[in-house]
Chain A
Amino acid sequence: GAGVSQSPRYKVAKRGQDVALRCDPISGHVSLFWYQQALGQGPEFLTYFQNEAQLDKSGLPSDRFFAERPEGSVSTLKIQRTQQEDSAVYLCASSLEGFGTNEKLFFGSGTQLSVL
């Protein structure tokens, strides 16, 4: 695709519900990142994939958060039993090359999650 696509754009969940956020990176991009961005803050790293391999998940806040990229393209971030503190914008970004190549990121528009 022309850019990184994320869906849904907005998601409202009741506390305790499970949610799934989708990211469709630029075709052929090896690296994929998920970030969480609270209002007025910079993006906080959650996890990193190189193709289908999840190389780093150290930023995931708890075991309620799970991400996958089974075929090395589309990725899903799943949050189980959502809590109010999970309310944030979830950004996905991709880059052409893999680990250590230090390339610019292309970001999606994000999913704004509101947990009531």
Chain B
Amino acid sequence: GQNIDQPTEMTATEGAIVQINCTYQTSGFNGLFWYQQHAGEAPTFLSYNVLDGLEEKGRFSSFLSRSKGYSYLLLKELQMKDSASYLCSPGTYKYIFGTGTRLKVLA
């Protein structure tokens, strides 16, 4: 079966660092996507990891451990505009999603 687990909500302060974890059990795994979704808007692509390790892209980094079925998204120097839901999506052809982690950034 398919199972994806992420925290429901997180709160952090502007300028801080936050790590959003995702664990998954899927069949046909090909890599892991992270998407950002602001309230009332469409999800937009943030990152994709196919190999183990850390991928850095500006203020956002994403890590993958295939053997552990684990990924995290690291957001640095948080800004108010980072308040959004962050969706973990293990790459199978169906592109299934977790429930999302709602991040609130406080001033």
Contact = CB atoms under 8 A, between A and B. Distances in A.
Q: Do A and B come from one complex?
A: yes
A74 B18 CA distance: 40
Given A42-B100, A43-B43, A110-B42, A105 B95 contact: yes
Contacts of B99: 40-42
Interface residues of B, number: 23
B60 interface: no
SS class of chain A's interface: helix, strand, loop or mixed? loop
Contact of A109 (B35, B41, B85, B93): B41
Contacts of B97: 35, 42-45
B69 interface: no
B34 to A, nearest CB: 10
A100 B93 contact: yes
Interface of B: 30-31, 33, 35, 41-45, 48, 50, 85, 87, 91, 93-100, 102
Interface of A: 4, 33, 35, 40-45, 48, 56, 59, 91, 93, 99-100, 102, 104-110
Q: Nearest 7 CB-CB pairs, A to B?
A: A107-B42, A42-B97, A104-B45, A102-B30, A42-B100, A102-B91, A42-B99
